[in-house]
Structure 1
Amino acid sequence: MIVSALLMSVGINSSLCILFFTLYSIIRKQPGYYYVYVPRLLTAKGIKRIRDRMRRLLPSSDWVKAAWKLSEEDLLSTSGLDAVVFIRIIILSLKIFSFAGVIGLFVLLPINCAGTQLAAFDITVISSETLDLFTISNVNNGSKWLWVHCSAVYLITCLVCFLLYHEYDYVCSKRIAYFYSAKPQPQQFTVLVRGIPVPPGSSVSESVDNFFKECYPSTYLSHVVIHRTNKLYNLINDVKKVYRRPLHLQSEPADEYSTCDTPFRISSHKSDHDKKPEHLEENRITEQSYSSFSGKEVRSAFVFFKSRFTAAIASRLQQSEKPTQWVTEQAPEPNDVYWPVFHSTFFRRWMSRVVIIVVSILLTVLFLLPVVIVQSLANLSQLEIWFPFLKSILSAKIISQIVTGYLPNLILQLSVKLVPPVMEFLSSIQGHISYSEIQRSACDKFLWFIIWNIFFANVLSGSIFNQLSVLLDLRNIPSHLAVSVPAQASFFIAYVVTSGWTSTSSDLFRVFQFIQSLFQRCCCCKRTDLDEFELPYILYHREIPKVLFFGLLGITYFFLAPLILPFLLIYFFLAYIIYKNQFINVYAPKFESAGKFWPTVHNCMIFSLVLMHAIALGIFTLKKVRSASTLIFPLPLLTLLFNEYCRKRFLPNFVAYSAESLIKKDKEDWNDPEMPQFFSELVTAYMDPALSPSQLSNSIGHTSSTRSDISDDSITPLLSHSVFNASLWGGGQAV
C-alpha cells in the first residue's frame, strides 16, 4: 500500500470519527433517545429533562471530562470487577506503547529512514512511495545501527514482563479484596452436581438427599433438582408477547421518554390478536405443574452447604469411584446460570466439544476467502490482472487510493463482526453452565481466530500462502515472517484506523441502536416501557480480543515499523474514554466473574512477545547480524520461564479461592444475625425462572407506567448526581 492510499484511509476514518463524536454529543441530549445513549442513568433516575432547546442542539464534550474523572472505585461499585479488569487492559496498553512510542518514534524511526537498503526516494513524491522506507527493511544489511533495534527488543521485553507481573499481582489482590468485601453470595455456598445415579424405585431428589447427608452430614443444607423446562420457556415467551400487546395498544400518548413521536401505527398481525391470553396462561400453569413432577427431573441438581469451605471441597473432590457420576463444580451466580445445558449427558457434552473443534477449524479455513479478497484489493496490480475490465476505473488516482487504502479494511472489519456471535453460539452448546463461562470460552476462540486470520493469513498470503511446502518448513518460519511482516505495515496501520478508531467511535454512537430507534419512531410507534426494558451489557468476548489484538500488533511492529505506534496510542486513548463513558451511561453488568478474564490477557501478551522474538531472530539473520540473532535467542526461553512462574504464582487464585480465605470469611459469618435469613432464601435462589410464579396475569388492563409513577425511594442511583449531570449536560444543573 502506498503512502497516499494510507493517508486517504486515515482521512476517511478521521472524518467518520469526528462525525460520530459530533452526532453523539447532540443526539444523546434529546429526551427521545435517552434509552439509546443513557439507559443506565434513565433507569436510575439520574437525569432530568433539559428545557433549553438551543443547549440541546449544541455539541458538547464535557462527557469526556466525566469519563476521565471516573475513579476505579466508582467503576468497581457500579460495574463490577470485570469492568475494572477491562479498563486495566487498556491502561496497560497505554503504559506499554507510551514507552515504546518514545523509543520507536525518536530513536528507531530516524534510523530506519536514514537507511539506504531500499531505493532512494524524492521527498516531494513521498505520497507515491510505499511505507517500507520507514521500516527496518530500509536499514542496510550488516549495519551497526541494527544493534539499537536489538537493544529495543530487550527493553520492551523487560518492560512488558515487569508490567505484566505488576498487573497480575494487582488484579489478583483486587480479586481477593473483592471477595472479602462482598456480602454472602449464593454461589459461594452452592455446588452443581451432574451425572446423578438414581436407584430403581427412587427419584433424583431422594438420591441427592441421601448421598450428601451421608457424605457431608454436618454441613449439608438442602438441594434443588433441575427440571426440563424447554417447552415451558416457549409458552412463557408467547404469554409475554400477548400480554405486552394490550399494554402498547392501551398506553397513553408518548411522553418525553417514548421512542415514538409520530401518529402512525402499524397494525398487528391477525394471528397475534387471535391468541387468547387466558388460554395461554392456563397452558403455562399446566406445563409448570407438569414440569415439577419427578418425571421431568434432570439428573442434575444444585446442592447447598452451610459453609463456603465445605462447598469448595465438594466442588473439587471426586465424589464417586466412577468419574462420570456425581460430577461436581462450583455453581455460578443465580442470574448467570445457563439453564438449557443441564439436560445434556456426559457423552453428549464430550461429543459437542469434539464437533466444535472441527467446526472452529472449518470456520477459520472458510474465513480465508475474505482475506484473499482483501489482499487482492490491497495489491492493485494483481487486481488489474484478475479483472482487466476495471483497469480504466482503477487508473483514477482517488479511486485507486480508496480501493487499496480503505476498502480492504472495511471488508475485513465487516466480516470479522460476524464472528463473535458465531463463537458465542459454539461455546453455548459446548456444555458451559454459565453465561460468564460461555463468554470466556468465546473470548479465547475469537482471540486466536483473529490472530490467525487477520495477522498470519494477511502476512503470509502475499508470499507463501500458496506454497504449502514452505509452510511446512518450520525451521524457516522466522525468516519468512521477517520478510512478510514489515511488508504489511501499511495494511495494519490502516486496519488500526478502520477497526480501531472508527469502530470504537461507532460503538459510542451506537449506530445500530440509533437506526433501530429511528425505525420505531417513524414506523412501529412502539413504546419503550421500563418494565420491558433490559439494560445492555458489554460483550467481553468481542471487545477483549480486539484490544489484545491491537496490543499484539503494537508489540510485533514496535521495532519493525514504529510508525504504527501513534495510531495505536490514539486508539487506546479513545477506547479508554469511550468505554468508561459507556460503563457510566450504557452498560450494566450481566454477570461477575471477578476478573477471570485476566489470565487470557496475560497469555496473549506473552504470545505477542514470543512472536516478536521469532520475527527479530529472522530479521537479524537476514540482515546478516548473527551476533544479534544469537543474543535474541534466549529471550523467548526467558519469557516462557517468566510466564511459567506467573502461572504458578497467580493463576491458582483465579481458579478458586484459597482455604484460608474461605475459612476466614466463614468465621466472619458465624456471628452475623442475617445468616439464618440468608440460608432460608438460599434454597430459592436457584429456582428455574420458568418454574417461578408469573405475575403477567396482573398486567391485564394495566397501562405502562411513566417516569412520574416511580418513586425516588425505590431506585438507588448508580453514581452521584454530579457525575450524572456532568456526564450528560456538562456539569450544569438541568431543569
Structure 2
Amino acid sequence: MKPGSLIASATINFGLALIVLSLFSIFKKQPSNAPIYYARRLSKRHHIPFDHSFTFSRFIPSVSWIPRAFRVTEDEILQISGLDALIIIRLFKFGINFFAVCSLIGLVILLPINYGGQDEPSRVSLSMDSFTISNVIRGSNRLWVHFTCLCFVSFYGLYLLYKAKCVTKKIEELRGRSTVKKHGKECLLNDSTTGEDFLKITLLEEKVQEIFHEIRQIQGEHMLKGKELPVAFATFKSRCGAALAAQSQQNSHPLIMITEMAPQPKDVSWRSLAIPLKFMPLYKIGIIVLASLLTIFFAVPVTAVQGIAKFEKLKKWFPPAMAIELIPGVSSILTGFLPSAVLRGFLYIVPLAMLGIAQRGGSISKSKAEIEACNMVFYFLVGNVFFLSLISGSLLDEIGEYVSHPKNYPSHLASAVSAQADFFMTYILTDGLSGFSLEILQPALFLWDSIVLHTCGRGKDENPYLYSLPYYRIIPSVSLSILIGMVYAVVSPFLLPLLVGYFCLGYMVYVNQIEDVYETVYETCGRYWPYIHHYIFIAIILMQITMIGLFGLKSKPAASIATIPLLLMTIAFNEYCKIRFLPTFCHYSIQDASKHDELDQKNGQLKVNYEQASNAYRPPSLQPVTLTVSSLQI
C-alpha cells in the first residue's frame, strides 16, 4: 500500500469521527434526546440538568464529556454498573498502558533501525515497508535489537496481566454482598396528581391485577399438567452450605445429580432448563457446526476485501481495473479506506449471529450464552480478520514471484508478513475512529426515535431506550486489536501510536456509555476476565512465534533459538495464573463464605437473604405482578 492510501484512510476516518462526535455533543444537549443518551440515568430517576431555553450554545459542539470520562474512578464504575463493566474499562486501560510504552520504544528505537536497515538506499523508499523489519538486511546484527525489544514487550505484557490480579479481590468483595438484590421499582406519582385521578388509577390497577392473576393461574395450571422438569433451585440458609453443595459431587455416578451455583434471578434462561442433559452434547455440536459454517461463509468477503487492498497486483490479473487510476484520488480511497470499511460492515452482524447461535446451546443462564458468543466471535475474528487477511494478502502479493522464483519464496513471505501492517493500520483506524464514534452516537436508535417522534409522536414520560452492555461485541473486537498490535509491535512500530489513540477513544466512549446509557441487567462477578487473559496470552504467544519465523527468514537462527525460552516462560506464566487465579472466578471458597455468613448473622441478614432467595427464583408465569406509575422529571 502506498503512503497516499494510508493518508487517505486516516483523513477520511478522522473527518468522519470529528463530524460524528460533534453531532453527538450537540444531540446530547437536546432534552428530546434524553431517552437515547441518558437512558440509564432516566431509569434510575436521576435529575438531568438541561438548558430548556433556546440558546445558541445548545447547537455548538463541546468536549465537556471527554474530561468527565477521565475523572470517573474505578470505584464509581463498580458502584454504577458492577464488576463486568469495570472489566471492560480495565481492558481499555491495559491497551493504553501497554501500547503507550511500546510506542515509545518503537518510535525511538525500532523505527530508526528499520529505516536505516539497508546498506544501500532502499528501493522501496516510497512504501511503508521502509519502516518495518522487512527493510533490515538478512543476517544483520541490528536484529538483536528487535530481539531485546521483543523480550521487553513480552515481559511488560505479562507484568500488566499479573498486575490485574486485583480483580480477584473485587470478586471476593462483591460476593460479600447480599446474594439476591431487589430489582423492583418504586411507585412515584406526579405532584399534580389529584385525589380523584389517584382513585381512578387505583381502580384500574386492581382490575389489571385481577386479569393478570387469572392469566398467571391458567399458565401455572398448564405448566403443572406438563412433565416435571429434572431441574430444581435449592435455597440454603447460609452461603457456606450453598458453596459446599454446589462444588461437591453428590452421587458416585456423576451424571445422576449435577449441582452448580445458580445464576442471578434475572440471568436464568428458563427455556434452556427444559433441555434434558442427555441432549446437551448434540446442542454443543450444533453450535460448533453453525459457527464453523458462518466462519467459512465469511471467508469470501474477507478474500474479496484483500483483492481490493492489493490493487497494484489486482491490475495484473484484471487489466480493466486500471481505468480507476484515471480519476485522481480514487485509487487511494479504494485501497486505503474502502477495504477496511467494507470488512467492518460485514463483521457488524457477526456478534449478533453468534449470540443467536449461543442462546440455542442450552446454557442455563443468559450470561453463559453471552460468554460463549464472546469466545466464538473472538476466534472468528482471529481466523477471518487476522489469519485469512494475512494469507490472502500474501497470496495475491507473492503468487507471481513464487511461480517465477520459487527458491526466493521464504524471503518474499517474510516481506509479505511485514507488508500486511499497512492494511491493519487502516483496519485499526476504521474500527477505532469510525466504530467508536458511531457507538456513542447511536445513529440507528436516533433515526428510529426521530421517525417515531415525527409520525406517531411520543409523550413526555416515554420510557428510555434501555439495553445491556454488549460484552460479546466489545471484548472480542478490542482483544483482536490487542492481538494485532502485539504481533506487529516489533515488526511495524508505526502501528503502535494508532493503537494508543484507539484505546484512549474507546475508553472515553465506553465510560460515557456505562455512566449514562447502558443498564446492568445481571452480574457474572468478573467471569469475562479469564477469557480476556486467555486472549492476551494468545496474542503474546503469536507475537513470539511470528518473531521466531522472521528471525529465521532473516538468516538469524541464533535469535530464533533464543526466543524459544521466552516462549516457554510465557506458557509457564499462564499455567501459574490458571492455578493461582482461575479458581477464584469459578468457585466460592468456604473460608470467604463462612466469613460472609458471620457478618450477615451479626447484622441479622441471614433470614432476610434466605427469604429473598426463596422468592426470587420463580418462573415468569408465577412471578408477582407489580404496576407502577412513574414520572420522570428532566
TM-score by length of 1: 0.77
State the partner residue of 1:368: 299
Distance 2:575 2:630 in 1: 57
Query: Amino acid of the residue matched to residue 606 of structure 2?
Result: M
CA contact (8 A) 1:118 1:137 kept: no
Relative distance call for 1:510 and 1:102 in structure 2 (3 A) is same
1:525 Cα deviation from its structure 2 partner: 2.2
State the partner residue of 2:422: 490
State the partner residue of 2:46: 45
State the partner residue of 2:491: 560
State the partner residue of 1:92: 94
Relative distance call for 1:706 and 1:573 in structure 2 (3 A) is same
Equivalent residues in 2 for 1:215-294, closer than 5 Å: 284-285=215-216, 287-293=218-224
Equivalent residues in 2 for 1:185-584, closer than 5 Å: 185=180, 284-285=215-216, 287-293=218-224, 295=226, 297-384=228-315, 387-463=318-394, 482-527=414-459, 529-530=461-462, 532-533=463-464, 535-584=466-515
> Which of 183, 193, 196 pairs up with 2:178?
183
Distance 1:416 1:568 in 2: 20
Distance 1:397 1:534 in 2: 45
1:173 Cα deviation from its structure 2 partner: 1.5
1:371 Cα deviation from its structure 2 partner: 0.8
CA contact (8 A) 2:84 2:525 kept: yes
1:675 Cα deviation from its structure 2 partner: 2.8
- Structure 1 window deviating more from structure 2 (458-467 vs 652-661): it is 458-467
Query: Amino acid of the residue matched to residue 504 of structure 2?
Result: F
1:583-607 superposed Cα distances (whole Å, 9 cap, x missing partner): 1111121211111111111111111
Secondary structure of the structure 2 residue equivalent to 1:602: helix
Relative distance call for 1:282 and 1:686 in structure 2 (3 A) is closer
Distance 1:379 1:527 in 2: 53
CA contact (8 A) 1:116 1:138 kept: yes
Query: Amino acid of the residue matched to residue 307 of structure 2?
Result: S
> Which of 707, 710, 713 pairs up with 2:632?
707
State the partner residue of 1:170: 166
Distance 2:242 2:369 in 1: 23
1:146 paired to 2:156: no
Query: Amino acid of the residue matched to residue 2 of structure 1?
Result: K
Distance 1:676 1:479 in 2: 72
> Which of 598, 604, 609 pairs up with 1:667?
598
CA contact (8 A) 2:95 2:503 kept: yes
Secondary structure of the structure 1 residue equivalent to 2:526: coil
Distance 1:424 1:58 in 2: 39
Equivalent residues in 2 for 1:121-140, closer than 5 Å: 129-140=126-137
1:423-455 superposed Cα distances (whole Å, 9 cap, x missing partner): 111111112111211111111111111011100
Query: Amino acid of the residue matched to residue 570 of structure 2?
Result: T
1:161-196 superposed Cα distances (whole Å, 9 cap, x missing partner): 1111111x211122112223x234379xxxxxxxxx
State the partner residue of 2:36: 36
State the partner residue of 2:157: 160
Secondary structure of the structure 1 residue equivalent to 2:215: helix
Distance 2:610 2:210 in 1: 38
Query: Amino acid of the residue matched to residue 67 of structure 1?
Result: A
Distance 1:280 1:386 in 2: 71
CA contact (8 A) 2:118 2:137 kept: yes
Relative distance call for 1:289 and 1:623 in structure 2 (3 A) is closer
1:283 Cα deviation from its structure 2 partner: 7.9
Relative distance call for 1:674 and 1:161 in structure 2 (3 A) is closer
1:305 Cα deviation from its structure 2 partner: 0.9
- Structure 1 window deviating more from structure 2 (395-404 vs 90-99): it is 395-404
1:18-51 superposed Cα distances (whole Å, 9 cap, x missing partner): 0111001111110111111111223323213313
1:642-696 superposed Cα distances (whole Å, 9 cap, x missing partner): 1101111111111112111111111222233243233223221011123224457
Relative distance call for 1:303 and 1:528 in structure 2 (3 A) is farther
1:417 Cα deviation from its structure 2 partner: 0.9
State the partner residue of 1:647: 578
Relative distance call for 1:600 and 1:117 in structure 2 (3 A) is farther
Distance 1:385 1:51 in 2: 62
Distance 2:340 2:422 in 1: 11
State the partner residue of 2:547: 616
1:285 Cα deviation from its structure 2 partner: 4.1
Equivalent residues in 2 for 1:581-592, closer than 5 Å: 581-592=512-523
1:607 paired to 2:602: no
1:521 Cα deviation from its structure 2 partner: 1.9
> Which of 82, 85, 97 pairs up with 1:83?
85
Query: Amino acid of the residue matched to residue 76 of structure 1?
Result: L
State the partner residue of 1:253: none
CA contact (8 A) 1:72 1:84 kept: yes
Relative distance call for 1:478 and 1:614 in structure 2 (3 A) is farther
State the partner residue of 1:72: 74
1:543 Cα deviation from its structure 2 partner: 0.3
Secondary structure of the structure 2 residue equivalent to 1:361: helix
Distance 1:365 1:112 in 2: 37
Secondary structure of the structure 1 residue equivalent to 2:8: helix
Distance 2:526 2:350 in 1: 24
Distance 2:525 2:395 in 1: 43
Distance 1:490 1:50 in 2: 46
Distance 1:428 1:443 in 2: 12
Query: Amino acid of the residue matched to residue 453 of structure 1?
Result: N
CA contact (8 A) 2:410 2:553 kept: no
Gaps of 5+ in 2: 183-207, 403-408
1:12 paired to 2:8: no
Distance 2:456 2:160 in 1: 52
1:121 Cα deviation from its structure 2 partner: 5.2
Distance 1:502 1:380 in 2: 23
CA contact (8 A) 2:308 2:339 kept: yes
Distance 2:548 2:453 in 1: 59
Query: Amino acid of the residue matched to residue 60 of structure 1?
Result: S
Query: Amino acid of the residue matched to residue 11 of structure 2?
Result: G
State the partner residue of 1:23: 23
CA contact (8 A) 1:481 1:615 kept: no
CA contact (8 A) 2:231 2:273 kept: yes
Distance 2:155 2:543 in 1: 13
Distance 1:662 1:294 in 2: 39
Query: Amino acid of the residue matched to residue 168 of structure 2?
Result: C
Secondary structure of the structure 2 residue equivalent to 1:342: helix
Query: Amino acid of the residue matched to residue 396 of structure 1?
Result: I
1:118 Cα deviation from its structure 2 partner: 8.8
CA contact (8 A) 1:479 1:621 kept: no
Q: CA RMSD in A?
A: 2.7
1:280 Cα deviation from its structure 2 partner: 8.9
1:484 Cα deviation from its structure 2 partner: 3.6
Query: Amino acid of the residue matched to residue 175 of structure 1?
Result: I
1:441-473 superposed Cα distances (whole Å, 9 cap, x missing partner): 111111111011100000011335999xx9xxx
CA contact (8 A) 1:481 1:618 kept: no
Secondary structure of the structure 1 residue equivalent to 2:235: strand
Gaps of 5+ in 1: 188-276, 471-476, 711-735
Relative distance call for 1:118 and 1:510 in structure 2 (3 A) is farther
Relative distance call for 1:366 and 1:148 in structure 2 (3 A) is same
CA contact (8 A) 1:117 1:137 kept: no
Query: Amino acid of the residue matched to residue 505 of structure 1?
Result: S
Query: Amino acid of the residue matched to residue 263 of structure 2?
Result: P
1:240-267 superposed Cα distances (whole Å, 9 cap, x missing partner): xxxxxxxxxxxxxxxxxxxxxxxxxxxx
1:529 Cα deviation from its structure 2 partner: 4.7
